[in-house]
């Protein structure tokens, strides 16, 4: 912002630091070229650089009168326009972005150097399990244990949302630290734990029910005969990769315990199907049948909960 002795103002705003610097130098050079007899007045000009999102011209620059000399105004405006030209601006930004991207190390390199740890949220299920040398993510086990200790009888468990900021904080802790204590007071709200568990499954690059099984499960749930429908679902479940099967079995066993307390927590198998259907089971590419798919997603989860003992039978059976 340039404020003249006469009170006129010239305000330029931008988010780009180097563009602001160009403006500053252009204005300063224009003032330095003023006649010596006006140098005293020019020294009284006040400069303030502000960051914003647009360029606003409040008034023309004037040091003594309301109308600046044409040659001074022309020189100043030309310098400013030249510095802030769209093409020049784009070229500078593009050049800087190219240099930044070319010098930026890859995610793999950062992980190899130990600067970025392997993520739990947002990683493929089998990669998380391989890293932990297990078939069920430790985070899933910890959440289930915490909910079964403190949340089986909580009204609306898994349906009521926890504080999103706290859930994101828990997500960050899980991704950055190896040890997690869900009994810590900052995770006292059990809805934060259930929210984080749902977020974990929602952020899997491929859902717990792999994409290649989606249509098969949908076709199975359409079977009219209940016994045949259960048998078809059971056959598909047994074909799942080991991490998917083991994680699914533990999760559904847990959700069955939630449904058993329906009289207290008001969470029936149908309610749990509505909550977990779209989270655990979804098509790779969304089509116009989203509403129909959602109905099947809910029904599949509901059936697997109500018929848990028949679907997740032991190998000997």
- Among 205, 289, 208, 210, CA closest to 251: 208
Q: Give the separation between CA 95 and CA 89, rounded to whole angstroms.
A: 10
Domain for residue 277, yes or no?
yes
Judge whether 317 lies within some domain: no
In a domain, 52, yes or no: no
Cα of first residue to Cα of last residue in the chain, in angstroms, is 81
Asked whether 290 and 309 are in contact (CB, 8 A), the reply is no
Its domain, for residue 12, covers 2-33
Q: How many Å apart are CA 312 and CA 249, to the nearest integer?
A: 7
Do residue 138 and residue 276 come from a single domain? yes
**pLDDT of res. 91:** 74
Q: What is d(CA 277, CA 154) in angstroms, rounded to the nearest whole number?
A: 21
CA distances in angstroms from 197 to 140, 145, 149, 282, listed in the order given:
7, 12, 15, 17
pTM of the shown model: 0.64
Q: Torsion angle of alpha carbons 254, 259, 265, 266, nearest 10°?
A: 150
Q: Which two tokens stand for residue 58?
A: 């409040």
Residue 42 counted as domain residue: no
Domain match, 159 and 265 both: yes
Flag whether 240 is in a domain: yes
Residue 176 tokens, joined: 């950055």
As given in the structure block, the two tokens for residue 258 are 């939630």
Low-confidence ranges of the chain (pLDDT < 50): 39-69, 71-84, 316-317
* Shared-domain flag, residues 140 and 240: yes
Same domain, 199 and 307: yes
Number of domains the chain is built from: 2
Is-contact 198 158, C-beta < 8 A? yes
């Amino acid at each position: 912002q340039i404020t003249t002795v006469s009170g006129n103002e010239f305000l330029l705003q931008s988010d780009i630091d180097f563009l602001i610097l160009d403006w500053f130098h252009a204005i300063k050079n224009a003032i330095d070229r003023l006649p010596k007899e006006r140098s005293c007045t020019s020294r009284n000009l006040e400069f303030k650089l502000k960051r914003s999102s647009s360029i606003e011209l409040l008034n023309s620059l004037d040091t003594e009168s309301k109308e600046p000399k044409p040659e001074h105004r022309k020189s100043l405006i030309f310098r400013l326009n030249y510095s802030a030209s769209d093409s020049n601006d784009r070229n500078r930004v593009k050049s800087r972005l190219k240099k930044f991207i070319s010098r930026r190390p890859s995610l793999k390199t950062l992980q190899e150097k130990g600067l970025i740890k392997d993520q739990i949220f947002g990683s493929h299920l089998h990669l998380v399990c391989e890293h932990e040398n297990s078939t069920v993510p430790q985070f899933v086990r910890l959440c289930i244990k915490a909910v079964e200790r403190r949340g089986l009888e909580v009204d609306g468990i898994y349906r009521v949302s926890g504080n999103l900021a706290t859930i994101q904080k828990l997500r960050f802790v899980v991704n950055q630290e190896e040890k997690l204590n869900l009994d810590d007071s900052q995770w006292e709200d059990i809805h934060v734990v259930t929210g984080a568990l749902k977020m974990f499954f929602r952020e899997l690059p491929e859902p717990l029910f792999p994409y290649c099984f989606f249509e098969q499960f949908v076709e199975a749930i359409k079977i009219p005969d209940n016994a045949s429908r259960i048998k078809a679902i059971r056959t598909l479940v047994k074909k799942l990769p080991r991490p998917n099967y083991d994680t699914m079995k533990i999760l559904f066993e847990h959700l069955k315990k939630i449904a058993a307390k329906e009289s207290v927590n008001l969470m029936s198998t149908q309610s749990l199907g509505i909550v977990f259907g779209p989270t655990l089971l979804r098509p790779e590419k969304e089509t116009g049948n989203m509403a129909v798919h959602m109905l099947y997603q809910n029904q599949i989860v509901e059936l697997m909960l109500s018929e848990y003992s028949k679907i997740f039978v032991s190998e000997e059976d």
